[in-house]
Amino acid sequence: MDSNKIIVLTPVKNEAWILEQFLKSASLFADCIIVADQKSTDESRDICAKFPKVQLIENKTDKYDEASRQVLLIETARQLFPNDKRIFFCLDADELFSADSLTLDESWTKIKSLKQGTSIYIEKPDILHGINRCVRWKDNYFPIGYIDDGLSHTAKTIHSKRIPENPEGEDVYIDDIKILHFAHSRRNVQSAKLRYYSVLENINQSKAFYVRRYAYPCFYDEIKTYPIENIEPVPEVWLKEYDELGIDLRHLDDPIYPWHDFEILEAFKKYGLKKFYQDDIWEFDWDGCVKASPSADRTDLSLKTINGPGIVLKALLKVSDAMYTLYRKLKFN
């Protein structure tokens, strides 16, 4: 093999809100950043063009499919660097290494010395609104990195493990490096993502309605989501050097109507409203979303007024929610 190559693999769809910061950060440690863009309608592609280390490829599918995009990224990296020792870091655009992580030479030397087939697990704190607090879980490490050995990647359509699973490979946990997850810092967008995932799981028939309602509430609420004991101040060293380098992570856009909700409007048109009556998505201002939609056919008569489930069904769903919550408490406590 010629040399170690640190390769960041990143799927993108309308990530202009943080993509420049992400690529500036990734360019500090990666040899190559492969971005698979899925028909972005914002400035994502233009931002990628600014960075010499970025290899921009197209994810041509219209569907949300984590499996196909992960395979696309991995196989592209193997084609671009066939003779190198490939060190993959599979990161979304809203996941950045903490600034102090990039200067931990001993840990990076350890990573480069790992043998092929090794999975790298790293803690991923969730950064909350205001960027001053984060959520941390004891021993909650994510399989983010992989020392590539050419193993085929078997993945799921949604919430898939991002790296190949090698039953013979070693799992290595890196304690001092952190990956900061900024998705939860934007309350409007995080709520939209929950609604979007619920709709996707409905379309794919991958979760029962009562599980979807529990996992994907209409609005994200960090107080309800996280135990207070897991919320901590963000250590200054995680962001200090980024501040000094002009990588601004403290002022991130949080639109009222994110693109995820516009995608849900398209699902309404395709499948009809009633298909989604059991999902917890109906307290949102869908009529306002229609008016804000950039779609050329936003005046589609079928969406002029969006009516959710009736009062009886709403009441029955509330009872179902209470019963499923009680079931989980009895089972897991």
Q: What is the CATH number of the domain that holds 133?
A: 3.90.550.10
241 domain residue, yes or no:
no
If asked whether residues 163 and 295 sit together in one domain, one would say no
If asked whether residues 18 and 124 sit together in one domain, one would say yes
The string of pLDDT tens digits covering residues 185-240 is 999 999 999 999 999 999 999 999 999 999 999 999 988 888 999 999 999 999 99
300 domain residue, yes or no:
yes
27 domain residue, yes or no:
yes
User: Is pLDDT at 145 greater than 70 in this prediction?
Assistant: yes
pLDDT band at residue 72 under the 50/70/90 scheme: very high
State how far the Cα of 317 lies from the Cα of 280, in Å rounded to an integer.
9
User: Is pLDDT at 298 greater than 80 in this prediction?
Assistant: no
Q: Poorest-confidence range of 91-95, 158-162, 227-231? A: 158-162
230 domain residue, yes or no:
no
231 domain residue, yes or no:
no
pTM of the model: 0.87
245 domain residue, yes or no:
no
3-state SS record for the chain: CCCEEEEEEEEECCCCCCHHHHHHHHHCCCCEEEEEECCCCCCHHHHHCCCCCEEEEECCCCCCCHHHHHHHHHHHHHHHCCCCEEEEEECCCCEEECHHHHHCHHHHHHHHHCCCCCEEEEECCEECCCCCEEECCCCCEEEEEEECCCCCCCCCCCCCCCCCCCCCCCEEEEEEEEEEECHHHCHHHHHHHHHHHHHHHHHHCCCCHHHHHHHCCCCCCHHHHCCHHHEEECCHHHCHHHHHCCCCCCCCCCCCCCHHHHHHHHHHHHHCCHHHCCCCCCCCCHHHHHHHCCCCCCCCHHHCCCCCCCHHHHHHHHHHHHHHHHHHHHHHC
If asked whether residues 213 and 292 sit together in one domain, one would say yes
The string of pLDDT tens digits covering residues 100-127 is 999 999 999 999 999 999 999 999 999 9
- The pLDDT assigned to 281 comes to 98
- The pLDDT assigned to 156 comes to 87
238 domain residue, yes or no:
no
**Number of structural domains in the chain:** 2
If asked whether residues 179 and 196 sit together in one domain, one would say no
If asked whether residues 197 and 95 sit together in one domain, one would say no
If asked whether residues 152 and 214 sit together in one domain, one would say no
State the average pLDDT for the chain: 94
If asked whether residues 118 and 200 sit together in one domain, one would say no
If asked whether residues 16 and 143 sit together in one domain, one would say yes
If asked whether residues 102 and 209 sit together in one domain, one would say no
- The pLDDT assigned to 332 comes to 81
If asked whether residues 276 and 320 sit together in one domain, one would say yes
Which domain-ending residue is among 184, 209, 229? 184
If asked whether residues 15 and 150 sit together in one domain, one would say yes
The string of pLDDT tens digits covering residues 254-279 is 999 999 999 999 999 999 999 999 99
- The pLDDT assigned to 245 comes to 96
Q: Are 10 and 36 in contact (CB under 8 A)?
A: yes
CB-based contacts of 40: which residues, under 8 Å, 6+ apart? 12, 13, 14, 15, 16
Which domain-ending residue is among 139, 160, 184? 184
229 domain residue, yes or no:
no
Which domain-ending residue is among 184, 212, 242? 184
If asked whether residues 199 and 173 sit together in one domain, one would say no
Closest CA to 20 of 216, 252, 184: 252
Quote the domain boundaries for residue 20: 4-184
- The pLDDT assigned to 139 comes to 81
